[in-house]
Structure 1
Amino acid sequence: MVDRNDSRPSSERVFAVRGALVIEKKLTPGALVVEDGRIAAIHRGTIRDDELPSSIIEADIVSPGLIDLQVNGGFGYEVGANPTAIDRLSAALATTGVTAYLPTFITAPADVYPGVFAAFERVDHRAGAIPLGLHLEGPFIAPARKGAHQLRSIEAADDALFGSWLAVESIRLVTLAPERIGALDRIWRLVERGIVVSLGHTDSTFEQFITGVDAGANMATHLFNAMTPIHHRAPGPMVAAMTDQRVTAGLIPDGVHSHVATVQLALNAMGPDRIAIVTDMMAAAGLGPGTYALGGQRVTVDEQSARLDDGTLAGSIVTMDQAVRNIVAWTDVGIATALHMCTAVPGRVLGLATKGHFYLGADADLTLFDLHLQVQHTIVSGRFVYSEGDE
């Protein structure tokens, strides 16, 4: 990667980025012109220097910024009632190519949620990757498929807690189980308010899952995990998610939550337009082996996974850039398609009009890679929030 003039143009300047652009699941040679934080021009084919602004960033691969719909924490920071922790997480995520994400808060006692909502209102949206809103994962989930969520808070969750959420503008996505009593009404009320509903941590039948989709849910949380297993006479939620064309599934390609073969199975069954790559990162991601915390519980991390004392998986330690490399290495999709599942698909799930793909006037959220899919620069609204070599 070569920059003829300035490796980190300021957000006030006009600059170009030239390389293989990720457009419609293909790598297309060309260049983008960025002006005032937005994409001002898209050139395809060979573009001479004199046709571009004076400041040109050369990259092997130019992708829309990566969007992660499920981030519990990472790099020592956990999503919760501390806005500084979210700010530092935002800065750290930029090193992995993420330009926007949903801070994800797992099941907790009812009296904890107001502090989480208040903390989100105080976050710095210029710290790095942009926190788009909260993903509340639980507590309206199946006790039998609770994973690392605390049972007592699942059992205590009631209509009063749910009702308190409906006026909270920062909630963008909620994971719940469709078979729980009152779930269909909750789905309808959330969707009515523009909140995306994802079905997960569920012990539902095939039919119950479809009923949840009929009520307005359009996503499945971390496909294959915390779900009723597949049986050929009782296919359950996994098959329902893969076969219902209305559903987009979150998928964690870390080799632990999803075996390589099940990642390919999901791609074969759903196609890349219905899979959103997510990390489900927890606080220890990026730190290495040790003992950490998730939702007040002790988590032991080794080289591959994060687990509670009883062996239950407790989020992942994969980063989004590594997830992209895994998809390319393990499946029959190419680089552009893998990046599509981390950009355009999650952008569509959230209804983002200006993120996730390249078009005139879109936010200049860009992730620049080398040929080995190592992140070289992360750009948010035209600002360079990370460059290779930054401390």
Structure 2
Amino acid sequence: MEEFVLRNVTVVNPDHTMDNAYVLVKGGKIAAIGEDQYITQDLPEIVEEKEVESGAVLVPGMIDVHIHGTNNVDTMDATQEALKTMAETLPSEGTTSFLATTITQHPDLITKALKNAASFAAEDRSAGCAEMIGVHLEGPFFSKDKAGAQPKEHLMQADVELFQKWQKEAEGLIKWVSLAPEQDPDHALIRYLTKNGVITAAAHSNASLEEVEKAANSGVSHVTHLFNGMSGLHHREPGVASAALLNQNVTNEIIADGVHVHPAMVKLAFHMKGAAGLLLITDSIRAKCLHNGTYDLGGQTVTVEGNKPYLEDGTIAGSMLKMNEAMRNILDYTGCTVEEAAAMTAWNAAAKLGLSRKGSIEPGKDADFVLLDREKEVLRTWCRGEIAYEKGKEG
């Protein structure tokens, strides 16, 4: 692995910004960081200096914990090439780590996707691409009342034995499970997941506030794509969204594309939860990076027009959002600081997953970081110390 130093760069971390800084990278890790004027203390020998554009900022590599696909591939394709394409494409939007996300389907097809993910993870992957850090099992334990784009014919009650089978096939890669609390009425699966260190999220659920609170006491610690696919903010019947906003022990993820959630509601969520309580995700599908047209999602036909993918009945089906766009939008919608945006795109996900080697630009951590221009367009992305994307050098 190459050794290099970035000089005179503005480094943005979730808790502070350092101007006129240097970042020294060795062996795929951040070896040192400090004020550029003191660089000789950490740089006794000459290493390559990387040029940094004027006005650009360096932010932690973004972590997308909810992504189905991009660039005409999907996790459910269950091929090595599909996951490889995702890993190679995502750095162009600033994503350096991701959870490959499944969708509700026949159990055999989910098994196939999980086995494929395990095989992919077992290979020695190049550092110069996004790292698949696990699997997000979205479904099939959802409510038909709030199925959204999840195929209703394959929805089912929570099943501990089935999950155990899937986790075995995935070789322990399932790090995150989205389910409807009412589909696990005795909370057997929720308690099992929590005991075994798997993040449990409420999703595609018609549960009441009280049901979610009870589920949270059993281990639910997150709410998937806030406001979408859930009972809402009704003034007499508060549902999942109400519980998500009120319970400070429950983090929320949100699709900040202006399609799934109105900017005013994104701002409301930010004011209720603060930067520490929100994770930005894409929930993107294979159509991302491609043109308008028709595509497949979980065996269903999705039509894409602009930034809106939808099923035949008009149901929104995933997104076309990129992580750098989500960062730009959250800044616009809420007026938050760039540091807070970095928390919502990187730090919070790393902390939730217990990934101490990612989420911020600090010595000892993976050299995952993104150089952004003033408009939050990606100039360059490094994954574990290797250049993974450079604007103008695509393809």
TM-score scaled by length of structure 2:
0.92
The 1-side partners of 2:91 and 2:150 are apart by 28
1:31 to 22, 25, 33: 22
1:280-295 paired onto structure 2 within 5 Å? 280-295=283-298
1:55 equivalent to 2:56? Answer: no
Question: 1:316 aligns to what?
Answer: 319
The 2-side partners of 1:141 and 1:233 are apart by 24
The percent identity for this pair of structures is 32
1:1-391 paired onto structure 2 within 5 Å? 11-29=1-19, 30-44=21-35, 46=37, 52=43, 53-57=46-50, 58-59=52-53, 60-80=56-76, 81-123=78-120, 125-126=125-126, 128-155=129-156, 158-167=159-168, 168=170, 169-182=172-185, 184-390=187-393, 391=395
Task: Confirm or deny: 8 A CA contact 2:194 2:200 kept in the other structure.
Answer: yes
Secondary structure of the corresponding residue to residue 181 of structure 2: coil
| Cα displacement (A) at 1:240 | 0.7
Moved more, 374-383 or 258-267: 374-383
| Cα displacement (A) at 1:18 | 4.0
Task: Confirm or deny: 8 A CA contact 2:99 2:132 kept in the other structure.
Answer: yes
The 2-side partners of 1:104 and 1:354 are apart by 22
Unpaired runs of 5+ residues, structure 2, are: none
Task: Confirm or deny: 8 A CA contact 2:13 2:360 kept in the other structure.
Answer: yes
Amino acid at match of 2:10: A
Task: Confirm or deny: 8 A CA contact 2:7 2:36 kept in the other structure.
Answer: no
| Cα displacement (A) at 1:166 | 4.1
Task: Confirm or deny: 8 A CA contact 1:18 1:62 kept in the other structure.
Answer: no
Please give the per-residue CA displacement for 1:274-301, whole angstroms capped at 9, x wherever unaligned. Answer: 1000000011011121110100100000
The 1-side partners of 2:296 and 2:185 are apart by 31
Task: Confirm or deny: 8 A CA contact 2:4 2:49 kept in the other structure.
Answer: no
Task: Confirm or deny: 8 A CA contact 1:241 1:247 kept in the other structure.
Answer: yes
The 2-side partners of 1:98 and 1:17 are apart by 23
- Taking only aligned residues, the RMSD between alpha carbons, in angstroms, comes to 1.8
The 2-side partners of 1:17 and 1:154 are apart by 53
Unpaired runs of 5+ residues, structure 1, are: 1-10
TM-score scaled by length of structure 1:
0.93
Change in CA separation of 1:18 and 1:219 when aligned onto 2, cut-off 3 Å: farther
Aligned residues: 381
| Cα displacement (A) at 1:35 | 0.9
The 2-side partners of 1:163 and 1:121 are apart by 15
Moved more, 59-68 or 91-100: 59-68
| Cα displacement (A) at 1:23 | 2.2
Moved more, 36-45 or 296-305: 36-45
The 1-side partners of 2:41 and 2:195 are apart by 51
